[in-house]
Structure 1
Amino acid sequence: MTAPVPASESDAASVAFHLALTQIGVATIQDALDLWSNVPPARTTALSAAWLARAVRLVMIRRRQSRDLAMAYYRLARALRTGTTIADPRRPAPPYVTLSMLRAEFTALTSPEAPQEDAEEPAGTTSRPIPERPAESGPEPESRPTDTPEEDRVPVETIDGLDRELERLEREAEAEARLVLEVLGLDNLDSKLNEIDEELPASEVDAMRAEAHRKAGAHQAAAAERVAMNGARSTTWATAERDRRVLGYVRLSRTGTPCGWCAMLISRGAVYRSEQSAIYADGDKYHDGCHCYCEVIYTREQFDQSSLTSLNRRYRAEWKTHIADKGFKGKAALTEWRRRIRREQREAARLARARPGDAA
């Protein structure tokens, strides 16, 4: 493959990737809430331990799904933008593949009609089956294109040490999942229940217990979503950190209405490896409920020309005009920026609500 293809296909693949990742997040929340519904307020130690083990397993299956999605997208996007791709670190790679192979690999993980293998669900869940890769007895080489014209070949490059880093990240993620689910779910529920005055009428006590259970469930579900979606985010980040063709990244918002902190990161525009290390590292930070992700940058023209980065370009200009040029710095700058973003989003929501009435 002698040259990258038009950027429009790369941008479309990015949108498809983020939609699929968001769907994984939504499914994780529903799974987590379904499983949490089996935890009564008056829980027992044995029941709590069983719930935690099942919840962690559920999150890690969803995380693996998002990790597979990210690797397929990374391989396709790199080929589209640079004319070369990387090896999947989980299996030996051929010297080259084709764009058709990479497109098929990606489509298999983003298409609603794609066949998926059902994983065994934790007892007590009622959500849809969780797709995952079949158990592997050992690494299998990628299929090698035969009789492919040289101009259709996409060279495959291997990134040393990536397999070990991804394995380390999964171990850390499992430990994090266990911690946050216990703290935000079980411990949080206990704390809220202990604040209830048992001398109140029984109906009020029951209502307060139900509300405590609901809030704790929502918190643990949001954490479950973040850990699962971070399977894709950390895979992208770890790969890009070791990829010599990567210049930097840009943070993208799926919703277009990011929180103030994420909007600040988005306003930085393209962040290159030459930036301060602390600023560069902010790209791998996400909060519960966050639907942002980082898009890898291979050329400086990519940021200026892509339709995906229009919000970044607008926020960068607004930060300069309304924050930097007015002398705001440090915490004061972030506070003013958050205030401005909230005001802008409230006004946009008001106008959106008013449109149907105006049309009438």
Structure 2
Amino acid sequence: MPQRELSRLLDDHRNVQARISAGVSAQALAAWSRVSPTSLTTSAGAWLALVLSVIRRERARSHQVAASFYRLHRALEIGYTLPPPTGGPTADTVTLGDLREDWAQYTDTPRTPTPDDAEAVQVDDFTWPAADTTAQDAAARTSLVVTGPVQADREIGRVSDLQERERLDSADFLDELETMMGDAGVTAGGAADREALRGGRELIRDVSQVDSRVIGWARVTDGNPCAWCAMLASRGAVYRTREGAGIKGRTGRNLPPVGNPEDLQKYHSMCHCQTIPVYSRAAFVPESSAQYARDWSRATRGLAGAEARAAWRRHIDAQRRERRTA
């Protein structure tokens, strides 16, 4: 199994998706500077329309990136791939080189030809599920409104209640208003970041749920995950069924409490984790996930439930503080 290439592919996919979402977040935050607390409804409406158009465009790009990643990842893992998601006539085979070339267009790095580029990969018969863009738009709109204009309006109302003991044009009030608007812009930017990634994340989720060769999923984090994301990654593969994964009799003792594949699909704002399909018990999972599993065992030894989760949170928070200091 080409573990080095798989490791690089997982890193590149996560990084490409993170660049997409970070760009959307930056645009959302920059546009928020034009939202006025004195004409919130009008100015926030214009902001919302602009950011939604950016999210739609970049969500489609995230979708395309994930499709290219899925086809190459599947080929490297099991020697079978899927047809292009664009439809039309499909050949029975495609070369590894063609799949690598397709993926390279998204990484912005030159690709060095390899000896096995000419190796033929069988293309399975498959119909790609259609993205529910209407539901994605609705989710994006709700998320942006709640984290941006609604939060700003609530805070404006709170600080305006102070007018009896403080003039509304005082420096302190204006400073607080500026801080409050800035905070709302940051949270809305985080929501825009997450919504841009919905395109790729939902493609991998939807495709892998109907891909008959997939037996489970695993969470892949960045280099500085929160405790929740690190816990999901530490679990390794979460399988559709115990029997399908060939793990009869396994008790799960002292393993992180992640048994439902749907848990792997939960993402918070500014989270750049990805969930990848697993095709066999021998599937490649990053060493960082194995390290988190070892850390979990040590950090939670003798504990269970809420106590184990609290100990794990303290462990991960300490690691993140050390990285910031370094």
Same fold by TM (over 0.5)?
yes
**Aligned match of 1:136:** none
**Aligned match of 1:50:** 46
Shift of 1:331: 2.2
AA of the residue aligned to 1:110 = T
Aligned partners of 1:268 and 1:316 also within 8 Å: yes
Provide the C-alpha distance between the structure 2 equivalents of 1:338 and 1:153, rounded to a whole number of angstroms.
Answer: 46
1:203 corresponds to which of 165, 171, 180:
171
Provide the C-alpha distance between the structure 1 equivalents of 2:266 and 2:198, rounded to a whole number of angstroms.
Answer: 10
Aligned partners of 2:40 and 2:153 also within 8 Å: no
Matched, 1:94 2:94: no
**Aligned match of 2:246:** none
**Aligned match of 1:173:** 136
Aligned partners of 1:86 and 1:157 also within 8 Å: yes
Provide the C-alpha distance between the structure 1 equivalents of 2:129 and 2:261, rounded to a whole number of angstroms.
Answer: 23
**Aligned match of 1:293:** 274
Aligned residue-pair number = 300
AA of the residue aligned to 2:317 = R
Shift of 1:88: 2.9
Aligned partners of 2:219 and 2:236 also within 8 Å: yes
Alignment CA distance shift 1:203-1:296 (3 Å): same
Provide the C-alpha distance between the structure 2 equivalents of 1:172 and 1:94, rounded to a whole number of angstroms.
Answer: 33
TM-score by length of 1: 0.77
**2:75 counterpart SS class:** helix
Q: Identity over aligned residues, as a percent? A: 30
Alignment CA distance shift 1:159-1:330 (3 Å): farther
Alignment CA distance shift 1:158-1:41 (3 Å): farther
**Aligned match of 1:357:** none
**Aligned match of 2:308:** 333
Alignment CA distance shift 1:336-1:65 (3 Å): same
AA of the residue aligned to 1:106 = W
Provide the C-alpha distance between the structure 1 equivalents of 2:263 and 2:4, rounded to a whole number of angstroms.
Answer: 28
1:163 corresponds to which of 116, 129, 137:
129
AA of the residue aligned to 2:129 = D
Matches within 5 A, 1:191-230: 191-196=154-159, 197-198=162-163, 199-200=166-167, 202-230=170-198
* 1:308-354: CA deviation from partner (whole Å, max 9, x where unpaired): x212112212323332x40x22222211211122123324444x2xx
AA of the residue aligned to 1:103 = R
Any stretches of 5+ residues in structure 2 without a counterpart?
112-117, 243-256
Shift of 1:152: 3.2
2:241 corresponds to which of 270, 274, 278:
274
1:342 corresponds to which of 305, 317, 323:
317
**1:300 counterpart SS class:** coil
* 1:190-231: CA deviation from partner (whole Å, max 9, x where unpaired): 111111123335222221121111111001110010011122
TM-score by length of 2: 0.85
**2:76 counterpart SS class:** helix
Shift of 1:301: 2.0
Matched, 1:110 2:107: yes
**1:257 counterpart SS class:** coil
AA of the residue aligned to 1:215 = D
CA RMSD of aligned residues (A): 2.3
Aligned partners of 1:7 and 1:81 also within 8 Å: no
**1:302 counterpart SS class:** coil
* 1:66-88: CA deviation from partner (whole Å, max 9, x where unpaired): 11101011111111222111123
Shift of 1:112: 6.3
Any stretches of 5+ residues in structure 1 without a counterpart?
115-150, 353-360
Provide the C-alpha distance between the structure 1 equivalents of 2:121 and 2:229, rounded to a whole number of angstroms.
Answer: 35
Provide the C-alpha distance between the structure 2 equivalents of 1:45 and 1:235, rounded to a whole number of angstroms.
Answer: 34
